[in-house]
């Protein structure tokens, strides 16, 4: 049984928690937070000792725990986890029945009622991400729910809670059958090679599914596509399958090249007809300008924050300059402008687009915009959970 502790909420924040705000932030707690023990059940109270909400203690860089319920009578036990996970799976029935897609998220943290816990499904395998030691203490309950559901091949996990909230290197196998990697998954008919036991990332970011589909179905035909920050080249593959004349993928991680070759190959695309550069994107832009290269479409999907030997890049500050760079290598093409930075919203991204185009002396119109797909449920009470913003923009002059 988890220990129960009480935290007293500062008066200014009581309303917010009563209204459903799910993240327990240290700065909102007046008393008790010193006795924070990972995985204990936390009762939030006001100064008078009246009940506000119930949650668990788990240290993440964002907070010190998550609210699980505002009902005083609700118990946080196996049944609680079971109900939340079953409800989440019910919402994804469309995905389970989709013949062309077998990789999707079945449980998305606070969006499905339990912050700090994510579960993805990859062709019969579950991948659980634990974002704190605290939620990891509930591992037995979560695994038991998956066991009761039955019918899976194996379970893997990512422990994303070392000191800076990053991934702890480990054998990530939990139980069931050990997969053979790469595991081939399918997304809207596109194949992707994924690795569930090879570091923090799997080779594919499932949240960009709708963007990849749009690139393949609507935008790529006949184009020369530059895919920057390309990682394993997932956007390049979608573009090539959509009839792109050619794709150019640029990422500075050395392993990105082999991974991109692999993603092309599992789709029957001759990688030798595509360009793949292991290079700093900013150097690539300089090189492309020098060579007078021009692209019909540029995909920008930078990490929120990156530090390389030469520079630091932060989307919240440097996105306009990145757009300006991209415009220097596309005459009248389009840009796919993406960010997963949770600290700003779509309005701000649009203001970055305005600024980037203005600084380049160019104009544009927005063709389409994307946010998270439905398997990435968000919490309306916690705006950062709606982190993904993607704009498809056509340069008009």
Q: Which is nearer to ligand SAH, 123 or 278 (CB)?
A: 278
For residue 202, state whether it binds ligand SAH (rule: CB under 6 A). Answer: no
- Token pair 């990682």 in the structure block, residue: 231
Other C-beta atoms lying within 10 Å of the C-beta of residue 79:
12
CB under 8 Å to 97, separation ≥6 — which residues? none
Backbone angles phi, psi at 250, to 5 degrees: -130, 125
For residue 382, state whether it binds ligand SAH (rule: CB under 6 A). Answer: no
For residue 306, state whether it binds ligand SAH (rule: CB under 6 A). Answer: yes
For residue 46, state whether it binds ligand SAH (rule: CB under 6 A). Answer: no
Choose which of 231, 264, 370, 382 interacts with ligand SAH (CB under 6 A): 231
Q: Provide the greatest CA pair distance for the chain.
A: 70
Stretch that binds ligand SAH, among 130-138, 163-171, 176-184, 302-310 (CB under 6 A): 302-310
Give one word for 376, left, alpha or beta, with left for phi > 0 and alpha for psi -120 to 50.
Answer: beta
Q: Which is nearer to ligand SAH, 284 or 352 (CB)?
A: 284
Choose which of 205, 219, 271, 364 interacts with ligand SAH (CB under 6 A): 205
Choose which of 174, 184, 186, 252 interacts with ligand SAH (CB under 6 A): 252
For residue 248, state whether it binds ligand SAH (rule: CB under 6 A). Answer: no
CB under 8 Å to 361, separation ≥6 — which residues? none
* Count, residues near ligand SAH per rule CB under 6 A: 20
For residue 235, state whether it binds ligand SAH (rule: CB under 6 A). Answer: yes
Record the tokens describing residue 146, joined without a space: 């998956």
For residue 33, state whether it binds ligand SAH (rule: CB under 6 A). Answer: no
Stretch that binds ligand SAH, among 126-134, 145-153, 223-231, 317-325 (CB under 6 A): 223-231
Q: Which is nearer to ligand SAH, 157 or 280 (CB)?
A: 280
For residue 234, state whether it binds ligand SAH (rule: CB under 6 A). Answer: yes
Choose which of 60, 129, 208, 379 interacts with ligand SAH (CB under 6 A): 208
For residue 301, state whether it binds ligand SAH (rule: CB under 6 A). Answer: yes
For residue 281, state whether it binds ligand SAH (rule: CB under 6 A). Answer: yes
Backbone angles phi, psi at 264, to 5 degrees: -60, -45
Q: How far is the CB of 299 from ligand SAH (least distance, A)?
A: 7
Choose which of 133, 207, 251, 325 interacts with ligand SAH (CB under 6 A): 251
Smallest Cα–Cα separation from 86: which of 56, 106, 66, 108?
A: 106
Smallest Cα–Cα separation from 22: which of 387, 382, 396, 388?
A: 382
For residue 253, state whether it binds ligand SAH (rule: CB under 6 A). Answer: yes
Stretch that binds ligand SAH, among 66-74, 277-285, 290-298, 372-380 (CB under 6 A): 277-285
Stretch that binds ligand SAH, among 2-10, 37-45, 244-252, 364-372 (CB under 6 A): 244-252
Contacts with ligand SAH by CB under 6 A lie at 205, 208, 229-232, 234-235, 250-253, 256, 280-282, 301, 303, 306, 308
């Amino acid at each position: 049984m988890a220990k129960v502790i009480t935290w007293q909420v500062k008066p200014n924040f009581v309303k917010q928690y009563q209204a459903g705000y799910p993240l327990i932030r240290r700065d909102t707690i007046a008393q008790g937070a010193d006795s924070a023990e990972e995985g204990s059940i936390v009762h939030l109270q006001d100064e008078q000792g009246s009940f506000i909400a119930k949650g668990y203690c788990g240290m993440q860089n964002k907070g010190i725990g998550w609210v699980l319920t505002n009902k005083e009578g609700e118990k946080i036990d196996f049944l609680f986890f079971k109900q939340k996970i079953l409800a989440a799976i019910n919402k994804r029935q469309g995905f389970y029945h989709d013949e062309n897609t077998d990789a999707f998220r079945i449980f998305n943290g606070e969006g499905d009622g339990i912050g700090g816990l994510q579960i993805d499904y990859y062709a019969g395998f579950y991948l659980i991400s634990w974002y704190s030691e605290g939620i990891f203490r509930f591992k037995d309950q979560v695994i038991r729910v998956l066991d009761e559901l039955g019918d899976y091949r194996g379970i893997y996990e990512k422990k994303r809670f070392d000191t800076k909230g990053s991934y702890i290197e480990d054998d990530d196998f939990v139980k069931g059958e050990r997969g053979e990697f790469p595991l081939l998954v399918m997304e809207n008919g596109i194949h992707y090679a994924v690795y569930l036991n090879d570091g923090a990332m799997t080779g594919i970011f499932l949240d960009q599914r709708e963007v990849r589909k749009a690139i393949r179905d609507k935008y790529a035909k006949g184009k020369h596509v530059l895919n920057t920050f390309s990682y394993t080249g997932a956007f390049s593959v979608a573009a090539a399958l959509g009839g792109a004349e050619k794709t150019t993928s640029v990422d500075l991680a050395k392993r990105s090249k082999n991974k991109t070759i692999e993603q092309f190959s599992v789709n029957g695309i001759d990688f030798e007809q595509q360009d793949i550069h292991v290079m700093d994107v900013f150097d690539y832009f300089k090189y492309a300008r020098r060579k007078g290269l021009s692209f019909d479409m540029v995909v920008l999907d930078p990490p929120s924050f990156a530090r390389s030997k030469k520079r630091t890049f932060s989307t919240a500050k440097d996105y306009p300059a990145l757009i300006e760079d991209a415009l220097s290598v596309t005459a009248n093409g389009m840009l796919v402008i993406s960010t997963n930075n949770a600290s700003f919203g779509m309005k701000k991204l649009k203001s970055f687009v305005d600024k980037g185009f203005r600084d380049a002396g160019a104009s544009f119109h927005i063709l389409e915009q994307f946010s998270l797909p439905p398997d990435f449920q968000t919490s309306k009470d916690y705006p950062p959970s709606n982190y993904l913003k993607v704009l498809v923009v056509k340069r008009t002059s």
